[in-house]
Amino acid sequence: MLVWLVVGLLQAWNHYREKPPQAGPEKESRFVTLVDSQLVEDAGNDGDSFKIAYEGSEHVLRLYFVDCAEKRLYPLVKNRLKDQAAYFGGLSIPQTVNLGLEAKVFTEQLLHERRFTIQTRWERVFDSARSYALVFFDDGEELSEKLVRAGLCRIHTKGTWMPDGSREFDFEDHLRELEREAKAAHRGAWGRPRPVE
């Protein structure tokens, strides 16, 4: 009986003790910097989600903070497109899909033409193979800032504290200020004519 008690205590101790972090993408809690990664052409790429190649491996990344419109209409995204259209003040579904295509081109062009650095904690997006990430350019601006400034996305999805230690809500407030500027300048979605009802 004493032996079983000792074995049980050892198993409980092993389960609850502080364990060293395991190597590999799934177990990171701090940001990891990926330099010299490259965009991979993929049918799944869009304005806020894309495949990259880094050190011989491919990863699908999803931006923190922002959500670009869907780039095509199919049954699974119909309600999502309606929500996206409403966010932008009542765009039509075709206008919203066109906005998604524009965001895809915008993101791909930046990732092809500009140097960028990825910061990720390999945090998974729900049950998918995608990981959340931030993408910084040499001008210091992050990709979500550029998309918001261009009026090509909504501020909607998971946020994060930033690699420089600043708070999630401070960065989101900054994005909302950029969005107000984009609205005032009628950029992207904010400059589209609204359908007449």
Quick one: pLDDT at residue 96?
A: 97
What DSSP line would sit under 57-115, residue for residue?
EEEEEEESSEEPPPSS--GGGHHHHHHHHHHTTS--HHHHHHHHHHHHHHHHHHHHHS-
Q: Is the pLDDT of residue 17 over 90?
A: no
Other beta carbons less than 10 A from residue 187's beta carbon: 16
Quick one: pLDDT at residue 158?
A: 95
CATH fold of the domain at 26-188: OB fold (Dihydrolipoamide Acetyltransferase, E2P) (2.40.50)
| CB 62 within 8 Å of CB 125 | yes
pLDDT, mean of residues 93-108: 97
Alpha-helical runs (H) found in the chain: 2-16, 78-87, 93-113, 143-149, 168-184
pLDDT tens digits for 48-63? 999 999 999 999 999 9
CA atoms of 176 and 172, how far apart (whole Å): 6
**pTM for the full predicted model:** 0.85
| CB 120 within 8 Å of CB 34 | yes
Reported confidence tier of residue 128, pLDDT bands at 50, 70, 90: confident
